[in-house]
């Protein structure tokens, strides 16, 4: 076939241009952005809802909101971060409707661990609780793993920075984090006794 | 109730006091119970794969539903920001095209679709469109494409001629008996034999309109050339990909070579094209000019896109008129000469495209029934 353009992407568009193009109702940019972020947002929602269909519905609503209200959205952080925050709000609202609270930030901590994205919208108070919980749940992990988790989630180091600091490869960092997350989620129920009762 | 209690319940570590709170909560409603069950079932599971396409379809249905006013697109002549996702229209099965209910008034402007009329040698006319299939010994169509069967040499005596006519608002895909693929744009007519005689040139005629050819190489046909006649011009091909544009209202025939080599002849004049070049044959003076072309721009229509690069508004409107089957009236000539850039998906409402253009504040576009006025 002659056309070599295939499924080319918007990699050249920076975040500001993406929101600008969506405000201009550019469907191509919107669709590409959707395809790039939908799965991770569904997983994120699922870490609160534990139901894939509900999660998909909520994320779809968020995307429709983005399309329809693009002009009135006041996005201070990144567009992606904004969507994460919207998804989280809607999930928490849902939980509220079934009378579930999460003052102990168990869900926030878990979703933070499993998210590929740096969640930047937590308030300082929230972060305090999350970090506190995190320190407790990592206690049972091997030392190196613990160190990486702390650097990543409490000190907000990037993968590269952790790798440099510890003199290991970025891949090692990623693998360790992946294993840590798995371990934590498996042990979560077990370590709950340790969690603060605040 | 704190979420934590759910986890503690799963771990059988609730205190007596917590147990009471939990029991109270779970007995309150079925939704509570079902949430607990879901957490229990999937708490330490890794997440499932997310179906992006299904998600997009759900969204697409909502954001393109014709409720309320069309939002304004300010897409200023911004140039080709993006190389877009290109879907050849033969793959349109993947794109849900909205079915419009039968009783539409004549004034409804519709998005173009796959449709054509096949005229057999004896003059029989067969409408081909989505949802209708048609087959004979030599051909078959699923309503989106028409495919001729390869015939063995002894079967072929004097092959009959068929004509495929694409109306305004249509497009079609054709595979000839030699395996040559042809994409046909709106308002186009192609005449061709249902089979090709061995050892003689394979000859077809683009009566008018626009077609993209992917010619089955001569080497697979004992060296037989492929010839495309168009309003006096003839393109001689050895196996290649090219586009010919010669709409009835065009004053020239444009031949753009994508791959391979072709020779353009008109009477006694003969010019060779190399890939990336375009010849423009003036229909009245018969003068041929050859210049480099923006190939992907020229053939974008075949991939379901409109690609306008520095194109005068009057020409843009003409392209749109063929796909949406509308009439254009340029009330202010000076507006018709303003040039625009932009790439649009052909599978969208005309209204969208018109408001993008209008939002540049360069021209005013008014729709009356099926006529668009430019001033």
Span A12-32, average pLDDT: 76
Tokens of A113: 């661990």
* Residue contact A192–B35, C-beta within 8 A: no
Tell whether B44 is within 8 A of chain A (Cβ). Answer: yes
Higher pLDDT, B343 or A116: B343
Among B50, B56, B94, the residue to mutate for chain A (most A Cβ within 10 A): B50
* Confidence at A7, pLDDT banded by 50, 70, 90: very low
Max avg pLDDT among A109-118, A145-154, B186-195, B357-366: B186-195
Which of A1, A34, A195 faces B56 most closely, judged by CB atoms?
A34
Neighbours of B358 (CB within 10 A): 17
Contact B10, B40 (CB under 8 A): yes
User: Domains of chain A by range and CATH?
Assistant: 10-97 (1.10.1740.10), 106-197 (1.10.10.10)
pLDDT of amino acid B348: 84
pLDDT of amino acid B352: 85
Segment B285-297, tens digit of pLDDT: 999 999 999 888 8
Residues of chain B with C-beta less than 8 angstroms from the C-beta of A56: 50, 54-55, 58
Higher pLDDT, B145 or A13: B145
Among B8, B45, B55, the residue to mutate for chain A (most A Cβ within 10 A): B55
pLDDT of amino acid A14: 61
Q: Is A165 helix (H, G, I), strand (E, B) or coil?
A: helix
Tell whether B348 is within 8 A of chain A (Cβ). Answer: yes
Segment A161-195, tens digit of pLDDT: 899 988 889 888 888 888 887 777 666 655 554 44
Q: How many whole angstroms separate alpha carbon B303 and alpha carbon B293?
A: 18
Tell whether B91 is within 8 A of chain A (Cβ). Answer: no
pLDDT of amino acid B305: 86
Residues of chain B with C-beta less than 8 angstroms from the C-beta of A13: 81-82
Cα nearest neighbour of A57 on chain B: B55
Length in residues, chain B: 375
User: Exposed, middle or buried: residue B62 (CB in 10 Å: 0-12, 13-18, 19+)?
Assistant: middle
Residues of chain B with C-beta less than 8 angstroms from the C-beta of A59: 55
From A29-33, B241-245, B262-266, the region with the lowest mean pLDDT: A29-33
Contact A114, A47 (CB under 8 A): yes
Cα nearest neighbour of A40 on chain B: B50
Q: How many whole angstroms separate alpha carbon B152 and alpha carbon B263?
A: 29
Q: Is B361 helix (H, G, I), strand (E, B) or coil?
A: coil
Query: What does pLDDT average to over chain A?
Result: 79
- The phi and psi torsions of B224 (rounded to 5 degrees) equal -60, 125
Segment B8-56, tens digit of pLDDT: 888 788 889 999 999 999 999 999 999 999 888 877 666 678 888 888 8
Residues of chain A with C-beta less than 8 angstroms from the C-beta of B344: none
Cα nearest neighbour of B242 on chain A: A2
Q: How many CA atoms lie within 13 A of B322 on its CB side?
A: 21
Segment A40-60, tens digit of pLDDT: 999 999 989 999 889 999 999
Which of B3, B29, B63 faces A67 most closely, judged by CB atoms?
B63
pTM of the model: 0.49
* Confidence at B146, pLDDT banded by 50, 70, 90: very high
């Amino acid at each position: 076939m002659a056309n070599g353009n295939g499924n080319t992407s918007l990699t050249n568009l920076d975040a500001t241009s993406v929101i600008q193009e969506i405000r201009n109702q550019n469907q191509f940019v919107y669709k590409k952005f959707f395809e790039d972020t939908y799965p991770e947002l569904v997983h994120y929602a699922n870490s609160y809802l534990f139901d894939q269909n509900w999660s998909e519905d909520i994320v779809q609503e968020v995307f429709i909101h983005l399309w329809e209200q693009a002009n009135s959205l006041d996005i201070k952080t990144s567009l992606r971060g904004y969507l994460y925050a919207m998804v989280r709000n809607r999930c928490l609202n849902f939980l509220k409707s079934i009378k579930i609270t999460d003052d102990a930030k168990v869900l926030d901590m878990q979703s933070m661990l499993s998210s590929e994205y740096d969640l930047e919208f937590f308030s300082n108070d929230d972060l305090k609780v999350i970090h506190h919980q995190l320190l407790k749940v990592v206690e049972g992990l091997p030392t190196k793993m613990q160190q990486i988790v702390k650097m990543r989630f409490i000190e907000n180091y990037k993968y590269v920075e952790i790798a440099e600091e510890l003199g290991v490869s970025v891949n090692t960092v990623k693998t360790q984090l992946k294993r840590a997350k798995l371990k934590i989620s498996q042990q979560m129920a077990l370590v709950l006794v340790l969690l603060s009762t605040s | 109730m704190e979420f934590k209690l759910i986890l503690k319940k799963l771990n059988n570590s609730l205190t007596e006091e917590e147990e009471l709170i939990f029991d109270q909560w779970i007995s309150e409603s079925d939704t509570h119970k079902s949430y607990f069950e879901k957490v229990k079932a999937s708490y330490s599971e890794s997440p499932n794969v997310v179906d992006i396409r299904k998600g997009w379809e759900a969204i697409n249905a909502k954001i393109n539903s014709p409720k309320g006013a069309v939002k304004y697109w300010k897409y200023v002549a911004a140039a080709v920001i993006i190389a877009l996702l290109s879907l050849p229209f033969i793959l349109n099965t993947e794109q849900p095209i909205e079915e419009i209910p039968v009783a539409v008034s004549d004034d409804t402007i519709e998005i173009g679709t796959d449709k054509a009329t096949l005229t057999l040698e004896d003059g029989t006319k067969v409408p081909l469109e989505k949802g209708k299939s048609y087959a004979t010994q030599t051909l078959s169509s699923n309503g989106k494409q028409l495919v001729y069967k390869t015939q063995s040499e002894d079967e072929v005596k004097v092959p009959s001629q068929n004509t495929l006519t694409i109306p305004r608002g249509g497009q079609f895909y054709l595979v000839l008996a030699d395996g040559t693929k042809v994409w046909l744009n709106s308002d186009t007519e192609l005449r061709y034999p249902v089979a090709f005689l061995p050892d003689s040139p394979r000859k077809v005629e683009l009566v008018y309109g626009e077609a993209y050819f992917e010619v089955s190489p001569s080497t697979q046909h004992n060296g037989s050339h492929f010839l495309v006649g168009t309003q006096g011009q003839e393109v001689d091909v050895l196996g290649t990909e090219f586009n010919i544009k010669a709409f009835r209202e065009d004053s020239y025939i444009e031949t753009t070579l994508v791959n391979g080599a072709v020779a353009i002849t008109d009477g006694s004049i003969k010019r060779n094209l190399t890939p990336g070049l375009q010849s423009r044959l003036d229909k009245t003076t018969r003068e041929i000019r050859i210049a480099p072309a923006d190939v992907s721009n020229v053939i974008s229509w075949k991939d379901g896109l409109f690609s306008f690069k520095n194109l005068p508004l009057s020409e843009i409107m003409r392209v749109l008129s063929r796909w949406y089957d509308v009439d254009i009236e340029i009330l202010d000539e000076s507006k018709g000469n303003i040039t625009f850039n932009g790439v649009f998906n052909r599978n969208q409402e005309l209204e969208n495209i018109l408001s993008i253009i209008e939002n540049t504040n360069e021209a005013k576009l008014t729709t009356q029934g099926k006529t668009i006025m430019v001033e």
